[in-house]
Amino acid sequence: MERFEQADALKRLPEQFFAKLVRKVGRAVEAGHDVINLGQGSPDQPTPPHIVKELQEAASNPKYHKYPPFHGFSFLKEAVSQFYDREYGVRLDPEKEVAVLFGGKTGLVEISQCYLNPGDVALVPDPGYPDYWSGIAMAGGRMYMMPLLKENGFLPDYGQIDPESADRAKLMFLNYPNNPTGALAHAAFFEETVRFAKRHHVLVVHDFAYSAIGFDGQKPRSFLQTPGAKDVGVEIYTMSKTYNMAGWRIAFAVGHEEVIRSVNLIQDHFYCSLFGGIQQAAAKALLGPQDCVRELVGMYERRRNLFIRHLREIGWKVEAPQGSFFCWFPVPEGYDSETFSDLLIEKAHVAVAPGVGFGRQGDRYVRVGLLTPEERLQEAAYRIGRLGIF
Ligand SMILES: Cc1ncc(COP(=O)(O)O)c(C=O)c1O
């Protein structure tokens, strides 16, 4: 077989850290253990039936069997615009300020290709979602890590970024409700972000993946609710979590008009748009009944409350996340995130994600997903308690 040299862009891609976790879980399952896997981030509930039904009906429409229009159907961009107005009081021009994406992940990786040249700097939260790194690496960019510390509510401290790096930075990634820490951002932080972005001429990419999931009655804020936000940034809104549509691969970039144009431009060369039936079902999800979303958030909140209560009972000093479906728990003395995760999988058959997989600042934490029924969470707490380490 001939050997073909991969392009440098591909060689620069970081290792998929969590592939290792998947292998460890696989080995424990093969050995016959009943593993409770709290390490992954895929929603466990199905897509609400009215959305599935819409796709079923749309699938037979011959209009959708042809190539879809390059930038997606207008009815969908119109639906996104109405949704943002209804949910956040944010006005969007459907044709100029909305781009249809094949999932948030795709958009996040694309934006780095749109705005970074080799050597350019991007500001990245640490801990943070690893796909920001992939896009930056592919573009040959460099990362400047912004530590998210507990004492700052897991928000970056812009005062700690040296002004030279801030001036050199072209892009910044933010994500609230936050994966992995479960933190929410407040209005004042987003206002500070707009000021920082204007002062240093940085494009803000707010990843709003967990938009719907705020607890204790808190509704997570859209970055675009902040005055001036559209002048400096875009938000990525995915259907994956709000409507349990992770497998459908559909999301949107909204905001800054020129950035939306760039995203559409790069996509013109990769794809036509998504299957029309998926676009129709997504519009239905955005504009149809929303009780499914309220019920989903209620379910995650019940799971959170039960799990936190049981973990505190076994002596683990954990804090409850304010949003997202992740918990960010400190590892006990004497462990780092990997040795502690290894212990849990080997001795309790409970899989959690080692925090270091999200960045260096994560090494004192593990990420635990609330994506399994309450009985299993209770059982996980019981098994961890039996180890007698707290
Ligand atoms: C923080 C964050 N951003 C983006 C995504 C990507 O979502 P999707 O590609 O399904 O839209 C995820 C998925 O887990 C996520 O956790």
Question: How far, in Å, CA of 324 to CA of 358, rounded?
Answer: 16
**Confidence (pLDDT) at 220:** 98
The residue whose C-alpha atom lies closest to atom 11 belonging to ligand 1 is: 104
**CB-based contact 235:223 (threshold 8 Å):** yes
Low-confidence winner among 8-22, 41-55, 216-230, 331-345 (lowest mean pLDDT): 8-22
Residue 78: what are its φ and ψ, rounded to 5°?
-65, -40
Give the pLDDT mean for 17-34.
91
Q: What is the mean pLDDT of residues 295-303?
A: 98
> In the Cβ-directed half-sphere of 210, how many Cα atoms lie within 13 Å?
30
Average pLDDT score over the chain = 97
Task: Tell me the pLDDT tens digit for each residue of 55-96.
Answer: 999 999 999 999 999 999 999 999 999 999 999 999 999 999
pLDDT for res 15: 82
178 within ligand 1 shell (Cβ under 6 A):
no
Does residue 179 line the site of ligand 1, with CB under 6 A? yes
User: Is the link from the previous residue into 127 a cis peptide, with omega within 30 of 0?
Assistant: yes
Verify whether ligand 1 is closer than 6 Å to residue 242 (CB atom): no
User: Which of 293, 252, 324, 248 shows the shortest CA–CA distance to 82?
Assistant: 252
Give the model confidence (pLDDT) of 239-267 as tens digits: 999 999 999 999 999 999 999 999 999 99
Asked if the model's pLDDT at residue 20 lies above 90, the reply is: no
Specify the pLDDT at position 326. Answer: 98
Whether the CB of 107 sits within 6 Å of ligand 1: no
Confidence (pLDDT) at 17: 80
Crossing angle of helices 374-386 and 291-313, in 10° steps, is: 20
Residue nearest to ligand 1 atom 14, measured at CA: 41
Close Cβ partners of 161 (under 8 Å, ≥ 6 residues apart) = 123, 144, 146
Q: What is the pLDDT, as a whole number, of residue 16?
A: 81
Instruction: Give the pairing type, strands 251-255 and 98-101.
Output: antiparallel
pLDDT at 291 over 90: yes
For 205-246, write each residue's pLDDT tens digit.
Answer: 999 999 999 999 999 999 999 999 999 999 999 999 999 999
**Separation CA 100–CA 355 (nearest Å):** 31
Across the range 275-285, mean pLDDT stands at 98
Question: Atom 12 in ligand 1: which residue has the minimum CA distance?
Answer: 209
User: At residue 19, does pLDDT exceed 90?
Assistant: no
With the most atoms of ligand 1 within 8 angstroms of its CB, the residue from 181, 240, 244, 327 to mutate is: 240
- Residues 197-211: what's their mean pLDDT? 98
